Structure 1
Amino acid sequence: MAMPAAEIETLIRSALPDAQVTITDLAGDGDHYAAHVVSGAFAGKSRVAQHKLVYEALGGRMGGVLHALQLTTAVPN
């Protein structure tokens, strides 16, 4: 079962309301995405902690409904 990109974006923005989110479907199959997330919530956090915030926003869907997510995070300039 594929997960729509819009749903991924909605979940991330629900947890990180200030986030700028760009989702790219890497394989055209709805299972392999890249996400670039920019949020002030990442300030002062390690890259691992930033990614953890995003994965928590996805509510356990990684590895199930969402097969693969190539994730990059950043703090706004």
Structure 2
Amino acid sequence: MISPDQVEGLIKAGLPDAQVQVQDLTGGGDHYQVTVVSSLFEGKRRVQQHQLVYGAVQQAMASEAIHALALNTYTPEEWVVAAK
């Protein structure tokens, strides 16, 4: 099991400028919904953005500490629009 704070820490380690919101979907500590806002997503397609996040949590997913990860990724400009 991995805590939401640990998931956030892993993502921020891989994407240092990221703003991260983590929600435990089941209360069991293995299914998460994550929103990530990062300037590193600029110019990248959604699948490339997700690959960056998956790269940051790869070890936790490989060890099955994270079983499922639902992602919402945004550039800072996209987040301004989405947050309204």
Q: TM-score, normalised by structure 2?
A: 0.85
The ranges of structure 1 where at least 4 consecutive aligned residues each deviate by more than 4 angstroms after the TM superposition are none
Distance 1:68 1:14 in 2: 20
Matches within 5 A, 1:56-75: 56-62=55-61, 64-75=64-75
Calculate percent identity across the aligned residue pairs.
49
Distance in 1 (alpha carbons) for counterparts of 2:60 and 2:46: 20
- Cα deviations by residue, 1:6-60 (Å, 9 ceiling, x for unpaired): 1110010011111000000111111111000000000000000000000000133
CA–CA distance in structure 2, aligned partners of residues 60 and 11 of structure 1: 9
In the alignment of these two chains, the number of paired residues is 76
- The 5 Å alignment of 1:1-77 reads 2-62=1-61, 64-77=64-77
Unaligned stretches of 5+ in structure 1? Answer: none
Higher Rg: 2
AA aligned opposite 1:43: E
Structure 2 gaps, min length 5: 78-84
Helix, strand or coil for the counterpart of 2:12?
A: helix
